[in-house]
Structure 1
Amino acid sequence: MALLKRLLIGGIVLGVLAAAGGAASLAVYATRQTVPAGVIVSGWHAEGVSLQGFRAKLEDAVLLLARQQVRLKAEPAGGVATSLTLEQLGLRSNADEIIAQMEALKSGSLWQRAQLRKKLTNRALGLQITFDKEVLQRTVDQTWIALQKSEPVNALRIISPQDEVRIDPGRNGYRIDTEELLRQLDGRFPPKDWMLGILQAPIPLTLPLLAIKPAVTEETLKAQGITRKIAEFSTVFPASGEGRIHNVSSAAQTVHDMLLPPDGIFDYSKIIQETEKKFGFQEAPVILNGKLVPGVGGGICQVSSTLYNAVLLGGLQIVERRNHSLPVSYVTPGLDATYADGYINFKFKNNTGHHLLIRTSMDNGRLTVKLFGQTPSDITYEVVTKTIRELPAPNKYVQNPTLRKGKKVTLQQGKPGLIVETYRVKKQNGNVVSTDLVSRDAYAPQPTLIAVNGDESKLGDDTAPAPSVIEDGVRGPNFR
């Protein structure tokens, strides 16, 4: 009995001593101030490093990483490279989270700390690098101000003084593609050997750009097919008559640089409407009932007639055209194209299969129209007019009581009328291919004006009355 009692007391003592030893071991394990065994942080084997040293080394490494430079090159900006730190580019990391896990080993009960240490043993902890998009965008906008504000410039068709056609290609505008830059930066960091405490040479990157194309590009202009001058015609206008010069100049400016698409119809009535809206018309003689009378817009038909001749020489299709009731001074009879608001118009069709550019100029009393486009270079056109018949000028008698009885005085010599045919001759390599009748035009004779005193049987004008339309202008003598 005494022996049993001694053995029981001894077991209790050994149990107490064993428990005391386990607690001591737990305390030793839980209160270690080093990184648990097998911990790796993005390739850095941190096992056995003091917790304080771990924190300092990781913070220093991330700080050094923030100072790492990236050399960004923007090709359209002249190829000049700009170096920026990762911090400037918005570097962010989870270093604080990793440090917090290790710092947690210093607090809590022995059991909690031991459990956490066991959990962290043989753990691979990745240093995650991200970039703040707002910071990156702000840095980009401040660094490349001119590039970020660049606007596209339209391509431009240039016609030289020698009538050669070339294209200035214009240029794109650009914006930095921040999303693509983020993708390029993500996944590249941290770099290899990032814990060695050594800055790498600036890392080269091409700055990703988004091109903003102009509305008019070199490709769109080339696609229009305007490659050369295909026709030209000039007429002369008098130096006097400010109203007429203004009207001719204004209508020519409206036509200048007009672009007609394939199968497009040129409508002179629309030119007149636009010209009056933009510039207005001034007083100048117009044709009314076969006579020159004061009016507004006189001279506008010199533009349509000059253009008409260029159109004939370019081989274009005439849709609508009428001659004046009287011959005009600036073109040969048969080669004029008049306009009467609401009655007579001038239209032609661009049947070249390509765009047609119309250019006008006024210099030293000459109005010139040039057509640019694309037609077969071996095809040319010649325009020929033939006077088929002259119509005799009638006499018009007016009473003059101051004359003696039976006396006649010619006040104004009349002019005969004309019947004129116009032909367009098509040639290939200088050889006639075809000859087509373009028009058959009649010009009314202008009567001889004779003053008499007496009962003359021929008093008045024996010509048929002309239609009451205003030609070569927009308003007649009652415009005020």
Structure 2
Amino acid sequence: MWKKLHLWVIIVFALLLVASVGYGALSYYSGQDTVPEKVTAGGVDIGGLSIDDALKKLDQYEQQLESRTVTVEGNAEAKAEGSQTWKAAEIGYNAEFVGVKEELKKLRAGNVWTRSKFRYHFPTSFELKQSYDPAVFDKLVRSEFDWIDSNKPVNATRKITDNDEVVYTAHTDAYRIDVAPLEEKVASWITVPDSQLGGQPEQALTVQLGVKTVHPEITLEKLKDEGIDRKIMEFTTDFATSAEGRAYNVTSTAKALNDWVLEPGEVFSYGDVVAKTEKEFGYKEAPVISNGKLVPGIGGGICQVSSTLYNAIIRTAGIDIVERRNHSLPVAYLPKGQDATFASGSIDFRFRNSTGKQLIIRTVVENRKLTVKLFGTMPEDIRYDIDSSIVKTVQPAVQKVTDKSLGAGQSVTVQKGSIGYVVDTYRTMYKDGKQVSREKISHDTYRAQPIVVHVAAGAGGSSGSQSSGGVVEDGI
């Protein structure tokens, strides 16, 4: 009996001893204040470190990632000087270990059995979550360099001086911030690849401010391409003997014509100039040609402007005459065959700008002289001479008109009449001073004015007067 009791005592004691030893080992295992071996978080090795050191190491790594810097340098092209530097956290970047800190703290929580079990099943790998909001970076960059976006482009200008020089002023470009390329570079840098996590990330990135160039509507190149290189021709006529009404009409029409712009291929119509003059200035009374005679009328003098323009045009390369007629009577201010008349609704002066570039017509009236100037493109080694020759003359007819106030055998010449002419006009082209072509550009007829003689009744004269109808032209 005693032997059996002694055996049970030994067995119980042994069990108690084993339990005590096991509990002590378990207590030691669960009571360790270190991270289990071979544990990593986002590539950071924290296995074997004390829990506090591990937590500190993880915090430092997060801070290291978020304190990296991005520097945006100004753009010399946009005249944006200086630079601005931001930390990664300031531009929308965030780095955070997922769950590891909470899990580490659990190693210290609970009883021996709970801590032992948790330590035994502790994960060996934890994620580092990175996020980046490019909108934050976009807003910061635009705010820092906002003055760039407020600039406006300025058109190039062209001015023709009083000395007939064509002066160009260059355009001014504006710039707009182009954040997209910056965002792309920053985004590819700021989020550290998984393969590089745990190491030493690149601490700084420097990028240049991106800008987009905004050209104005009219650039210097575009303006110069219109072809207004220089003054290519001018021609002057005189109206010193004109009465006040005619001088007014010449001056007003010249003002309406001034700075007239013709696009390539455009057909100019002198009727448009006359209409503009009537609207803006009106016309005064001055002699006009009606049915081959000079009579009082409204608008006398306007054809001196068309004729002066015609002479500038026919001395310029690359312009095609579409419609032109001479006056029915010669004019005093130009050689025969070199005038261009106008009659509203029936006769126009038209030409086509075939130079391939713009053509600008300018006019100057000074000291009773009218000058028409053409600005555009024309080879400097080309010039034209104009000459006219009288092909034949036409003697005036004698027209007898019965005048009952005259006595038998009496006669009075009331109109001396004038000779008519047929005229051919030629244009000769010279290149480098040598003649290369000669062409006839017009064949014109100026009607003879009859000699009008009043005779006594019965002397064979006709009764009545000449018709005053027909086309009304501008006169001398």
Range class of TM-score, shorter chain: 0.7 to 0.9
In the other structure, the counterpart of 1:102 is: 101
Q: 1:22 aligns with which of 10, 23, 26?
A: 26
Structure 2 residue 444 is matched with structure 1 residue 419: no
Q: Is the 8 A contact 1:379 1:427 kept in 2?
A: yes
Q: Cα distance 1:391–1:251, how it changes in 2: closer, same or farther (>3 A)?
A: farther
Q: Deviations over 1:353-395 (max 9, x none)?
A: x314233121313333333444444332100011233333456
In the other structure, the counterpart of 1:476 is: none
Could you tell me how far 1:449 is from its partner in structure 2?
Answer: 5.8
Q: Is the 8 A contact 2:429 2:436 kept in 1?
A: yes
Alpha-carbon distance in structure 2 between the residues aligned to 1:25 and 1:162: 103
Structure 2 residue 443 is matched with structure 1 residue 440: yes
Name the amino acid aligned to 2:149.
Answer: Q
Q: Is the 8 A contact 1:421 1:439 kept in 2?
A: yes
Q: Is the 8 A contact 1:93 1:127 kept in 2?
A: yes
Name the amino acid aligned to 2:29.
Answer: S
Q: Aligned ranges for residues 155-304 of structure 1 at < 5 Å?
A: 155-159=156-160, 163=164, 165=166, 167-189=168-190, 205-238=207-240, 240-241=244-245, 243-245=248-250, 247-253=252-258, 256-261=259-264, 263-272=265-274, 279=280, 281-285=282-286, 286-293=288-295, 296-304=298-306
Could you tell me how far 1:327 is from its partner in structure 2?
Answer: 2.4
In the other structure, the counterpart of 1:478 is: none
Q: Aligned ranges for residues 21-420 of structure 1 at < 5 Å?
A: 21-22=25-26, 25-26=29-30, 28=32, 37-39=39-41, 50=53, 53-54=56-57, 57=60, 61=64, 64-65=67-68, 68=69, 70-78=71-79, 80-86=80-86, 91-95=91-95, 97-98=96-97, 101-103=100-102, 105-106=104-105, 114=119, 118-120=123-125, 125=128, 130=132, 132-133=134-135, 136-137=138-139, 139-140=141-142, 143-145=145-147, 147-159=148-160, 163=164, 165=166, 167-189=168-190, 205-238=207-240, 240-241=244-245, 243-245=248-250, 247-253=252-258, 256-261=259-264, 263-272=265-274, 279=280, 281-285=282-286, 286-293=288-295, 296-315=298-317, 316-352=319-355, 354-364=356-366, 365-394=368-397, 408=411, 413-420=416-423
State the aligned residue count.
455
Q: Is the 8 A contact 2:425 2:443 kept in 1?
A: yes
Could you tell me how far 1:21 is from its partner in structure 2?
Answer: 3.8
Q: Cα distance 1:432–1:83, how it changes in 2: closer, same or farther (>3 A)?
A: closer
Alpha-carbon distance in structure 2 between the residues aligned to 1:392 and 1:219: 60
Q: Cα distance 1:374–1:50, how it changes in 2: closer, same or farther (>3 A)?
A: same
Q: Cα distance 1:46–1:181, how it changes in 2: closer, same or farther (>3 A)?
A: farther
Name the amino acid aligned to 1:289.
Answer: N
Structure number with larger C-alpha Rg: 2
Q: Cα distance 1:436–1:53, how it changes in 2: closer, same or farther (>3 A)?
A: same
Normalising by structure 1, we get a TM-score of 0.74
Q: Cα distance 1:88–1:25, how it changes in 2: closer, same or farther (>3 A)?
A: closer
Alpha-carbon distance in structure 2 between the residues aligned to 1:88 and 1:250: 67
Can you give the 5+ residue segments of structure 2 that lack an aligned partner in the other structure?
A: none
Alpha-carbon distance in structure 2 between the residues aligned to 1:322 and 1:382: 20
Q: Deviations over 1:405-463 (max 9, x none)?
A: 76555555443332221111122332333321111111223455666675664346898
Could you tell me how far 1:214 is from its partner in structure 2?
Answer: 2.9
Cα RMSD, aligned residues only:
4.8
Tell me whether 136-145 or 47-56 shows the greater mean CA deviation.
47-56
Could you tell me how far 1:113 is from its partner in structure 2?
Answer: 6.6
Q: Is the 8 A contact 2:381 2:432 kept in 1?
A: yes
Normalising by structure 2, we get a TM-score of 0.75
Q: Deviations over 1:210-230 (max 9, x none)?
A: 112233334334545554443
Alpha-carbon distance in structure 2 between the residues aligned to 1:55 and 1:137: 30
Can you give the 5+ residue segments of structure 1 that lack an aligned partner in the other structure?
A: 474-480
Alpha-carbon distance in structure 2 between the residues aligned to 1:310 and 1:43: 91
Q: Cα distance 1:284–1:144, how it changes in 2: closer, same or farther (>3 A)?
A: farther
Q: Is the 8 A contact 2:360 2:376 kept in 1?
A: no
Q: Is the 8 A contact 2:239 2:370 kept in 1?
A: yes
Q: Is the 8 A contact 1:247 1:298 kept in 2?
A: no
Name the amino acid aligned to 2:257.
Answer: A
SS in 1 for 2:418: coil
Name the amino acid aligned to 1:73.
Answer: G
SS in 2 for 1:219: helix
SS in 2 for 1:77: coil
Alpha-carbon distance in structure 2 between the residues aligned to 1:25 and 1:413: 144
| Percent identical | 30
Alpha-carbon distance in structure 2 between the residues aligned to 1:81 and 1:152: 20
